[in-house]
């Protein structure tokens, strides 16, 4: 089995990839598709975080990014295989809800484009919605934790409010 340090393993040249434990699945398996869109979301969050000056906000987005990596490991863990990585979704959900609760409400429909940062956060928000849809598809075949599902729903709400904060 190849390690994470090996980049070019050639094991995927025939259209399969590995889940945790070496279990091979097609590269278009719903779990791989879900993790691919979570990876894209993580990249957009990284770009947003790089442009934010406020340390507390940067740190919180980084904690979300780290949680995305843990969630991806859970998605890539086949049924019957243990995953020692503990989810922290509920504590992050609480922090997002607290932020949403005190944030000013937009006065109407939002069209992204006020500035680069708010636009990038809106791309992250839209990507989070896509993740949520892919995860509901995944749930029809593979059970996921309810806290993961709530996490992504709340994440898109949080990103909407955050984008509005940075559009001013």
Q: Is residue 4 part of a domain?
A: no
Measure CA 16 to chain center.
23
What CA–CA distances, in Å, run from 69 to 36, 101, 117, 162? Answer: 11, 27, 23, 21
Per-residue pLDDT tens for 27-56?
889 999 999 999 999 999 999 999 999 999
Q: Is residue 89 part of a domain?
A: yes
Provide the residue range defining the domain that includes 139: 30-167
Secondary structure letter of residue 15 according to DSSP = S
Q: Is residue 152 part of a domain?
A: yes
Q: Is residue 16 part of a domain?
A: no
pLDDT band at 1 (very low <50, low <70, confident <90, very high): very low
Q: Is residue 137 part of a domain?
A: yes
Nearest to 65 by CA among 127, 118, 119: 127
Q: What is the CATH number of the domain that holds 113?
A: 1.20.1200.10
Q: Is residue 14 part of a domain?
A: no
Please give the structure tokens belonging to residue 95: 């922090």
What CA–CA distances, in Å, run from 31 to 17, 26, 77, 154, 164? Answer: 11, 10, 9, 21, 32
Q: Is residue 11 part of a domain?
A: no
Percent with pLDDT over 90 in the chain: 71
Structural domains in the chain (count):
1
Q: Is residue 99 part of a domain?
A: yes
Per-residue pLDDT tens for 124-165?
999 999 999 999 999 999 989 999 999 999 999 999 999 999
Q: Which of 26-30, 46-50, 59-63, 112-116 has the lowest mean pLDDT?
A: 26-30
Mean pLDDT rounded to a whole number for the chain: 91
Q: Name the 3-class secondary structure at 73.
A: helix
């Amino acid at each position: 089995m190849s390690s994470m340090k090996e980049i070019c393993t050639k094991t995927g040249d025939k259209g399969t990839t590995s889940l945790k434990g070496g279990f091979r699945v097609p590269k278009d398996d719903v779990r791989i598709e879900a993790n691919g869109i979570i990876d894209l979301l993580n990249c957009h969050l990284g770009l947003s975080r790089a442009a934010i000056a406020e340390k507390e906000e940067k740190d919180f987005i980084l904690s979300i990014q780290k949680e995305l990596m843990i969630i991806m490991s859970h998605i890539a863990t086949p049924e019957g295989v243990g995953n020692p990585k503990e989810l922290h979704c509920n504590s992050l959900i609480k922090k997002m809800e607290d932020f949403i609760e005190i944030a000013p409400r937009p006065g109407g429909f939002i069209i992204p484009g006020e500035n680069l940062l708010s636009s990038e956060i809106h791309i992250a928000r839209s990507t989070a919605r896509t993740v949520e849809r892919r995860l509901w598809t995944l749930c029809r075949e593979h059970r996921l934790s309810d806290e993961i599902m709530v996490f992504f729903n709340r994440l898109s709400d949080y990103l909407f409010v955050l984008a509005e904060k940075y559009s001013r």
